[in-house]
Chain A
Amino acid sequence: MRDDELRACRSVAGGKLVIGDLDMGQQYLHGFAKSARYALIGSIAAILLAFSCFRIHLDFASVIPLYLLLVVFQSLTGDFRSSAVVAFVSTACLDLFFTEPLFSLRIDHPLNALALAGFILTSLVITRLVARVREEAKSAKLQKERLNRLYQLSQQLLVLDPEAPLGEDFLEPFRRLFGIRAMCIFEADSAEFHLVGDSKGELAVKTRDTYIRGTDVDDFNAHVSVRRLRTSGHLAGAIGFEGLEDPKETAGALTALTAALLERKIAFHTASAAAAAAQTEIYRSAMLDALAHEFKTPLATILAGVGGLREAGPLTAEQEGMADTVENEASRLGSLTSRLLRTARLDNEHIRPRLEVVDVTSVVAQLTKQYSTRSSDRAILLADGHEQVQALADPELIRLMLSQLIDNACKYSRPGSVVTIGVERQGEFVAIRVSNNGSSIPRKERKRIFERFYRGEDAKHSTSGSGLGLYVARKIALAHGGALDLEIDDRSERVTFCLKLPTTKDELQHALTA
């Protein structure tokens, strides 16, 4: 890093900022020409000093400090090469004009030779030291300026709304503070480009390509530098600069700043999404409570009214039958409401089954009996040969899930058809199969049928539903360590939902019943 900085400083030694996208050869030539210029001026000064001092007959000892002063002045330019040349020219002048024999590079007296050697050594050391001090001062100044601009940039970016989409507001401060011709951010998630300024070097394309290739790019000819953007350890896009000074020094810092701000944006977004979700959940729960109350109170009133009619006076057989119908239907509507509301609650909850040993066969038998007395236009039968199997499960959730499956089988089968329910042991699982004929599910829909809110194309038009039932049923099955799958026999158009639950292991059952 230090070498890089020094190189940058050398490139500004002329006092004029050098555009950082000149290539290395050009930079070197530029520096060399400048050194030559300084060396020429310094050498002329050394020769003029020699003539002047010779004319007024100053001796060797008096002239040496004057030459040392000249070398020090020369090195104040901060250019070591020209200062070294001037040091050698000064030594030559001292030798020619002020040591015996005069006008010859030969030195007779060993003391003079020693003095000249001392002079050249001292001037070179001074030159080097002064040049280094100058270089470091310039480097520090440059660094300070860069930091200052970065600070200003971060200040300006931090006051922007963290949730506002990326746009000109975000990019403009970069351009203003760093004198960039054009700038582009490519966001991988949305595949969106955000470009400001007038690009002549296909900045957008290069920015996207950098993301795709996964390597940073510096194109000195087009004055374009592109860096990858990472957020939370992932490649999130790329950022491109056109006409940026010192891209090697600055592009990295600007990229890091942008990544940090994008990270902040994501954090804000996540936090507000979480807050919104929590709020929604509160409303949702309150709404479900209100719905439960609103639906069930009128039903309770109907039931109380029918009961009152019965108690008030003897009814004819026909009236008794009507009262039964009203009572049963209102109860059924109550059960249905309960189930729908419970399903809606389970949809968003983390399901924690209260496990106990459940006799699956008798639960299935009870439900089958219940549904077959209720459904007049479809036969609901328990398949032959079912065995007695126990599972470790939450009986209420199992009832809810099976009710959903039986309801679906009735809803999507033709009137007069048969819905069968079978229970079978399969290794460590008990498989409960609910099957119906006559409403095959299109192939493309089969994978999606368990998705939340998904409803098949036909179902959307022919039957009512929320698209939650199967999603929640599978969620319950998974929470039990089981599964809910779709099995379709295309030839017979038989649709079967197979629910698998882990059976009680012998040792576990033993422990529970001990």
Chain B
Amino acid sequence: MPSPHSSVLVVDDESSLRKALRTSLTASGFDVEEARSGEEALGSVQQHQFDLVLLDVSMPGMSGIDACRRIRGISPQAGIVMVTVRDQEDDKVRALEAGADDYVTKPFKLRELTARLRAVLRRTRMSDAVEPVVLRAGNLEMDLHERILRRNGEEIHLSPKEFDLLAFMMKNAGAPLTHVKLLRTVWGVEYGNELEYLRSYVRMLRKKIESDPSNPEYILTEPWLGYRFRDPSDPDSPRESAQDD
């Protein structure tokens, strides 16, 4: 459950959806405020400090992407979750590039939405804390100082790049990571289009850490966008990402 003070600003031009979300999120323990447009949302963010902003991508007037970029400027610590409607990955990539922490695709189940909101909230709060030396997820334990990965206590050999890639993913557990972001962070700024490169590393990592690499539970594929590291012990991290069908 979120802390009693977790506040959410719901930005959508559809009044019925805003109303349904206000009722449901309030029932789920959030303090909900509404805004009808990007412009109105900017005004609200300037006046109040929100923990989370749920922002529709396609709205008349200022687009959700523009609003996201400007909210990020005004309120850097707020967690932003974009609501996308298109199945194209472009919107999702643009949202993440504009500073969104995560996205949900319409139509979404309330449980899925609250799980995303809580995960984002936790990540934004964690980023203020001191970075831990040992990362844990499910059966995995990564010692960043010693550069050692253990699975069920057994050491697993990783190449330096595999280690860096997995470390970056584990540090951002639960967050969607675009191909470009992974390539640039782990390989360097001159990378960005070498998808096959990234895919082959992910394949190798899955072989080493997953019990069934063809049905992964740690490194999930975000279709046409990138990957998301999942901590199986986190109740807010469902295995099935918000895919169609």
Q: Give the B-binding residues of A (Cβ under 8 A).
A: 289, 292-293, 296-308, 310-312, 327, 330-331, 333-335, 338-339, 341-342, 354, 356-357, 359, 361-362, 366-367, 370, 395-396, 399, 403, 512-514
Contacts and interface: CB of A to CB of B under 8 A. Distances in A.
Contact of A335 (B86, B196, B214, B245): B245
Contacts of A304: 17, 20-21, 23-24, 110, 113
Nearest to B17: A301
A307 B107 contact: no
Interface stretch (B116-124, B167-175, B183-191, B199-207): B199-207
Contacts of B196: 356, 512
Given A300-B106, A339-B245, A395-B223, A512 B85 contact: no
Interface of B: 14, 16-17, 20-21, 23-24, 27-28, 58, 83, 85-87, 106-111, 113-114, 195-196, 199-200, 203-204, 214-215, 221, 223-224, 244-245
B27 A300 contact: no
A357 B202 CA distance: 12
Contacts of A342: 87, 244
Contact of B17 (A292, A297, A354): A297
Q: Which of A293, A298, A339 neighbours the largest number of chain B CB atoms within 10 Å of its CB?
A: A293
Given A292-B85, A293-B58, A396-B224, A299 B110 contact: no
22 contacts: A289-B58, A296-B106, A296-B107, A297-B17, A304-B110, A305-B23, A306-B110, A308-B110, A310-B110, A311-B110, A333-B107, A334-B107, A354-B224, A359-B214, A361-B214, A395-B221, A395-B223, A399-B245, A512-B199, A512-B203, A513-B204, A514-B200
A499 B82 CA distance: 37
A423 to B, nearest CB: 13
B24 A305 contact: yes
A507 to B, nearest CB: 14
B200 A303 contact: no
Given A304-B17, A399-B245, A327 B27 contact: no
A92 to B, nearest CB: 101
Given A303-B108, A308-B20, A361-B214, 12 more contacts: A289-B58, A293-B85, A297-B85, A298-B16, A304-B110, A307-B28, A311-B28, A335-B245, A342-B87, A362-B214, A370-B245, A399-B245
Contacts of B16: 298, 301
B86 A339 contact: no
B244 A339 contact: yes
Contacts of B214: 359, 361-362
Nearest to A390: B214
Q: Which of B17, B28, B199 neighbours the largest number of chain A CB atoms within 10 Å of its CB?
A: B17
Contacts, number: 107
Given A354-B224, A359-B214, A312 B85 contact: no
A299 B111 contact: no
A327 to B, nearest CB: 6
Given A335-B245, A338-B87, A354-B224, A297 B106 contact: yes
Contacts of B195: 354
Contacts of A354: 195, 224
B107 A311 contact: no
Contacts of A338: 87, 244-245
A349 B23 CA distance: 41
B224 A297 contact: no
A303 B87 contact: no
A306 B28 CA distance: 12
A396 B223 contact: yes
A513 B203 contact: yes
Nearest to A308: B24
A61 to B, nearest CB: 104
Nearest to B215: A362
Nearest 7 pairs of A and B residues by beta carbon:
A307-B110, A308-B24, A311-B27, A299-B107, A304-B20, A296-B106, A334-B107
Q: Which of A297, A359, A370 neighbours the largest number of chain B CB atoms within 10 Å of its CB?
A: A297
Q: Which of B16, B108, B244 neighbours the largest number of chain A CB atoms within 10 Å of its CB?
A: B244
A356 B199 contact: yes
Q: Which of A292, A300, A306, A310 neighbours the largest number of chain B CB atoms within 10 Å of its CB?
A: A300
Nearest to A514: B200
A327 B214 CA distance: 29
A301 B199 CA distance: 37
Q: Which of A303, A306, A359 neighbours the largest number of chain B CB atoms within 10 Å of its CB?
A: A303
A331 B109 contact: yes
Contacts of B200: 512-514
Contact of A300 (B107, B221, B244): B107
A126 B111 CA distance: 113
A351 B24 CA distance: 40
A360 B58 CA distance: 35
A331 B215 contact: no
A69 B16 CA distance: 112
Contacts of A341: 87
Contacts of B83: 300
Contacts of B107: 296, 299-300, 302-303, 330-331, 333-334
A300 B17 contact: yes
Contacts of B224: 354, 396
A250 to B, nearest CB: 61
B14 A297 contact: yes
A307 B14 contact: no
Contacts of A308: 20, 23-24, 27, 110
A334 B87 CA distance: 11
A389 to B, nearest CB: 11
A146 B24 CA distance: 87
Contacts of A292: 85-87
B106 A299 contact: yes
A307 B24 contact: yes
Nearest to A360: B214
A30 B87 CA distance: 85
B152 to A, nearest CB: 24
A311 B26 CA distance: 9
Contacts of A289: 58, 86
A333 B244 CA distance: 10
B181 to A, nearest CB: 17
A311 B24 contact: yes
Q: Which of A302, A327, A339, A356 neighbours the largest number of chain B CB atoms within 10 Å of its CB?
A: A356
